[in-house]
Structure 1
Amino acid sequence: MIKVLLPKSVLLLYHKTLAVLANVYYRFPSRKLIVIGVTGTKGKSSAVLMITRILEEAGYKVGSSNTIFFKTGEKEWSNDTKQGMPGRFKLQRLLSQMVGSGCTHAVIEVTSEGILQNRHWGIAFDAAVFTNLSPEHIESHGSFAAYREAKAVIFKNLAKSYQKNEYSIVSLRAPRGYSGQAPRSNPEINSGIAAQRVASLWLASVASTLPRNDNGRSTIKKVIVANRLDSEAPYFLKFPAQEKWGVWGNCGQAEEIAGEKKLCASDIREGAKGVSFTVEGRFIQMSLPGVFMAHNAMLAMAVALALGASLTSCKEALEKISFIPGRLQAIDAGQNFKVMVDYAHEPRSFESVLEVGRRQALGHKLIVVFGVTGGGRDKAKRPIMGELAAQGADYVILTTDDPYNDDPEKLINDIVPGINKTGKSEGENWWRVVDRRQAMQKAFQLASAGDVVLLLGKGSEQVMAVAGKLVPWNDEEVAREILRKIQETRNNNQTRYNIQ
């Protein structure tokens, strides 16, 4: 409450002071890591996860911070903080733990809210990744232009960020080298040479690919990667960097742009197994649905390639990802209809996910369960999301998301005008069920064989923000629990019928 009453200038100084103190206390740990920052409106967590998995496949020891999980080398745990970018001391402690566990790389989700609070201050980024941009958090930033400016901060500062070399990173923590293993791409891993020799060869091979400074030392290059399919990409690519990558969709859309490497795919298709595409002759079959997942994957590939990973590592890592928690995650408890959990919580992501849901339904019903976030967040998008849901789905069930201190029923009322614009009737093809568990149950009761139920807004989150408290909640767990009970009831009824 005190922070709310403070003038903005004092609050900014407060955040900056905490950031400085956190960096000093933990001794600027990001200077000992190759740090990749991923920002944008949607796709951040998916891209972070994919980059992390590719770098691990290439043999590096990787740390990560994102909306879905935290990771320090081998240790990985769910993010239960409701923050895509942790506070200053938490984030610096996490980076310090990555260094302590022997990580060479850190892949970080960077949020505009985090930028406003200087959570990025002192982090020495080496690569900045832009996914896409659409209006969000406008109340916090004041305008879309200000929102874009916040997203661009790590790009603006990239070239001026602390310059690292192979001595500060590589020689201290060569991936698996000093324990007798080198990155998997190194053919000498199984040749039986001494561990020190392996590490030395690996260090030399990496160092030879790096630009050199005036002292002759190999430096870690600064890289910008941007989604060229987004109209805002040129803005993020205009900032200085030693290497820039433009990532396109199909190669037919790609353009040759001076001073910029390009990555594009041919034959992007979504099938029963998931989305597939071909890059430079390598066919990649992912288990994830949605063409936008292919675009996220190509962003991850561009970053990894820029940092020295191979196409083989990219392909093998991406094909091993069976699902991404809370991102079009399928929930199978034996029911005869599909249930998918997704984090979609703004209009653009809503459209993308509804499109996937409609394709998955194959002529059957599409049922959507969602609510909106309280706390004064993005009020303008509420009726828009209602309209999109009503247009894209057969049945819509409005419920609670993260109300914070707001009245959940009032939040639902803010969505209703958008639904009313489509002509749908309450009680016939849309309902309001404040309790999220009961809303899920209603959706499952409405579903028949072949239908698709989308549970949107919460994704993989482990808590719900209600009346100033964080209450344990996870859509996947609750959905499985309800579906199991439904199946048990049906099985018991069938048993009784057979006995009779």
Structure 2
Amino acid sequence: MMTLRELLNTLPDAELSFSEKASNIAIEGVTADSRQVRPGSLFVAVPGVHNDGHRFIPAAIAQGVAAVIGERPLSEIIDAEANGLGRTVPYLRVQNSRRALAFVCAALQGFPSRRLTVVGVTGTDGKTTTSTILESILRAATATTEAPAGAVGVITTVGARIRGEEIDTGLHVTTPDAPDVQRFLRAMVDAGCRYAVVESTSHGLHQQRVAAVDFDVAAVTNITHEHLDYHGTREAYVAAKALLFRALFASSPKPGAPRAAVLNADDAGSYDALRAALAEEMESSALDVAIRSYGIAGRSPHSLDVAVENIAYDADATRFDLRWWGGRFPVESPLIGEFNVYNAACAATVALALGIPPSAVQRGVKEMPPVPGRMERIDVGQPFLAIVDFAHTPVSLERALTTLRPLVGRNGEGGRLIAIFGSAGLRDREKRYLMGRVSGQLADYTIITAEDPRTEDLEEICREIERGVREFAGPDRYVIIPDRSEAIQAGVEMARAGDVVAAFGKGHERSMCFGEIEYPWSDQEAMRAALQRCADRWQRESV
């Protein structure tokens, strides 16, 4: 609990519309949802894409709100005078309501990120996997007999974990909203965590959800074609990602917490742009931020602080050496594919920048738990490989299919790579055609289906994907099956020994949106059910 005056001190740009007496009002909670207002609540009116929170100020006042924060002048707020806004109900006008929401939430929680070493991970692909690898490394570095889960918490788009304990963040999310981010960070502090890993999406950064998080290390996986429906241009998308790196210069240093920016030197989409953003900040700041680059030896024209060498791939593991500024050591990862080599290298570079010893990096990478919906194998005894993966961009789909190709026809069997995927409605339209081209070129058979069509016409989305597929595949190499459950069933039924069947695009998500309604959905459950229905056939064929 804090007074309104104490909260005001966290918002230097606020214009006051209340008396000195009102400044002593106790604030017990904060929300941007008028339906959650209770007596003692602070309501923050946030302008949104579909709804403007300022319209709901009268509803918040009717619920007994203690005070209101908004961007608009009182003269533009409906029934402000009639409801006593600015007179009996204090009103604080700010330049950016979303940013204000983040800071008042952090203030009410005691600014928990200031008591943690915080790592932000951004990028188009691999954020969740990289965050999970890093969590495993930090667990290995801080684990004790009394606390085997280590002193680390993580917030990803899949969920949150605090010292190994799972906390669900919702059905279909990016970075959680500011109140939840700060609540999770507070819980980490209360649980005795030393480190926090925060997956930071472009939406979360642009919408100020992590604005009040004091980051110590920022890391990027890559930046490719995605989310242009929201950001408008690639430049705006990159600028949103760069906000994480600019945030390194916005908070005071913490004792014993190194400050570093970790860049992928092999990724042309991010390296130069983020180096330029860092250079701009360094010109006007006295803070010392180390820039650490990683990549595969011989790939990049840039020098590498951490270089991957001697890569060896197997069906269920990947081995390589890491050469860093302190020497060289071998790494073994249970993850397959070159893109996961980059994810591991990114996590390792962050850990080394934090002063984590190589032995903990080795243990953490080797012992990391599976990441839901990331190259996740579904096995009920079938004679082929069934995979669920989150690949939902042209680049991630290409990487996934390239990774799975060597697993087709193993053990001397013939085989096909069967790809099942769609593309989301009300999102980047251009990637539909591009993903179709990727699958038409790299998969042996493509099944086009639904993936969150929302209010768009599902058949039209499928036809846009089909246009790309047909550039490389004839009509005997693809089919459109709009119902995703039926599409997965069809892929399983056509599969034979040596095949790989992979459902892409949903991964960890637990809902699918049709119209404006989220319906429960799980690719894992759908794949497992389809495999079970065919189990009798495989038993007969094996006799």
TM-score, normalising length: structure 1: 0.82
Q: Are the counterparts in 1 of residues 292 and 305 from structure 2 also a CA contact under 8 Å?
A: yes
1:355 shift after superposition: 0.6
Deviates more, 1:135-144 or 1:16-25: 16-25
Quick one: which of 312, 333, 341 aligns to 1:269?
312
Q: Confirm or deny that 1:474 pairs with 2:495.
A: no
Q: Confirm or deny that 1:351 pairs with 2:398.
A: yes
Mapped partners of 1:48, 1:161: distance in 2: 22
Change over 3 Å in CA distance of 1:274–1:322 after alignment to 2: farther
Summarize the alignment of residues 88-107 of structure 1 with structure 2, pairs less than 5 Å apart: 88-107=178-197
Q: Are the counterparts in 2 of residues 79 and 461 from structure 1 also a CA contact under 8 Å?
A: no
Deviates more, 1:397-406 or 1:43-52: 397-406
Quick one: which of 318, 321, 324 aligns to 2:371?
324
**C-alpha distance after superposition, 1:292-324 (max 9, x if no partner):** 111110111111111121111111111113532
Q: Confirm or deny that 1:393 pairs with 2:443.
A: yes
Partner of 1:177: none
Partner of 1:445: 493
Partner of 2:114: 31
Which residue identity lines up with residue 49 of structure 1 in the other structure? T
1:254 shift after superposition: 6.1
Change over 3 Å in CA distance of 1:423–1:306 after alignment to 2: closer
1:107 shift after superposition: 0.2
Q: Are the counterparts in 1 of residues 157 and 169 from structure 2 also a CA contact under 8 Å?
A: yes
**C-alpha distance after superposition, 1:408-458 (max 9, x if no partner):** 222212212112222421xx2211111111111100111110011111001
Q: Confirm or deny that 1:418 pairs with 2:508.
A: no
Q: Are the counterparts in 2 of residues 79 and 462 from structure 1 also a CA contact under 8 Å?
A: no
**C-alpha distance after superposition, 1:209-263 (max 9, x if no partner):** x4xxxxxxxxx2211111111112133234144322110113x346675xxx700
Mapped partners of 1:254, 1:355: distance in 2: 21
Q: Confirm or deny that 1:377 pairs with 2:427.
A: yes
Change over 3 Å in CA distance of 1:115–1:256 after alignment to 2: closer
Mapped partners of 1:87, 1:81: distance in 2: 14
Partner of 1:14: 97
Change over 3 Å in CA distance of 1:79–1:477 after alignment to 2: farther
TM-score, normalising length: structure 2: 0.76
Quick one: which of 223, 228, 240 aligns to 2:260?
223
Which residue identity lines up with residue 458 of structure 1 in the other structure? K
Q: Are the counterparts in 1 of residues 238 and 273 from structure 2 also a CA contact under 8 Å?
A: no
Which residue identity lines up with residue 376 of structure 2 in the other structure? Q
What is the aligned-residue RMSD (CA, Å)? 2.4
Partner of 1:113: 203
Q: Are the counterparts in 1 of residues 337 and 403 from structure 2 also a CA contact under 8 Å?
A: yes
Mapped partners of 2:370, 2:161: distance in 1: 17
**C-alpha distance after superposition, 1:155-183 (max 9, x if no partner):** 12312323222xxxxxxxxxxxxxxxxxx
Change over 3 Å in CA distance of 1:137–1:12 after alignment to 2: farther
1:283 shift after superposition: 2.4
Which residue identity lines up with residue 346 of structure 1 in the other structure? T
Mapped partners of 1:443, 1:347: distance in 2: 21
Q: Confirm or deny that 1:282 pairs with 2:332.
A: no
Where structure 1 has 5 or more consecutive residues not aligned to the other structure, the ranges are 166-209, 211-219
- Taking CA–CA contacts closer than 8 Å with sequence separation of 6 or more, which of the two structures ends up with the larger relative contact order? 1
Percent identity over the alignment is 31
Partner of 1:204: none
The DSSP-based 3-state class of the residue aligned with 1:332 is coil
Partner of 2:345: 298
Quick one: which of 512, 516, 532 aligns to 1:484?
532
Q: Are the counterparts in 2 of residues 224 and 237 from structure 1 also a CA contact under 8 Å?
A: no
**C-alpha distance after superposition, 1:469-498 (max 9, x if no partner):** 22222211221122122114554x679xx9
The DSSP-based 3-state class of the residue aligned with 1:157 is helix
Summarize the alignment of residues 1-400 of structure 1 with structure 2, pairs less than 5 Å apart: 3-4=49-50, 6=52, 13-59=96-142, 60-165=150-255, 210=256, 220-231=257-268, 232-238=270-276, 239=278, 240=282, 241-250=288-297, 252-253=298-299, 257=303, 262-280=305-323, 281-321=328-368, 323-362=370-409, 364-374=415-425, 376-400=426-450
Which residue identity lines up with residue 480 of structure 1 in the other structure? R
Q: Are the counterparts in 1 of residues 450 and 483 from structure 2 also a CA contact under 8 Å?
A: yes
Mapped partners of 2:51, 2:371: distance in 1: 40
The DSSP-based 3-state class of the residue aligned with 1:284 is strand
The DSSP-based 3-state class of the residue aligned with 2:528 is helix
Where structure 2 has 5 or more consecutive residues not aligned to the other structure, the ranges are 1-46, 55-70, 73-93, 143-149, 283-287
1:3 shift after superposition: 4.5
Q: Are the counterparts in 1 of residues 169 and 176 from structure 2 also a CA contact under 8 Å?
A: no
Mapped partners of 1:95, 1:438: distance in 2: 41
Mapped partners of 1:63, 1:147: distance in 2: 27
Partner of 1:405: 455
Q: Are the counterparts in 2 of residues 37 and 108 from structure 1 also a CA contact under 8 Å?
A: yes
The DSSP-based 3-state class of the residue aligned with 1:461 is coil
**C-alpha distance after superposition, 1:22-47 (max 9, x if no partner):** 22222221111111000111111111
Mapped partners of 1:85, 1:307: distance in 2: 23
The DSSP-based 3-state class of the residue aligned with 2:153 is strand
The DSSP-based 3-state class of the residue aligned with 2:429 is coil
Mapped partners of 1:355, 1:78: distance in 2: 32
Structure showing greater Rg:
2
Between the two proteins, the alignment pairs up a number of residues equal to 435
Deviates more, 1:66-75 or 1:145-154: 66-75
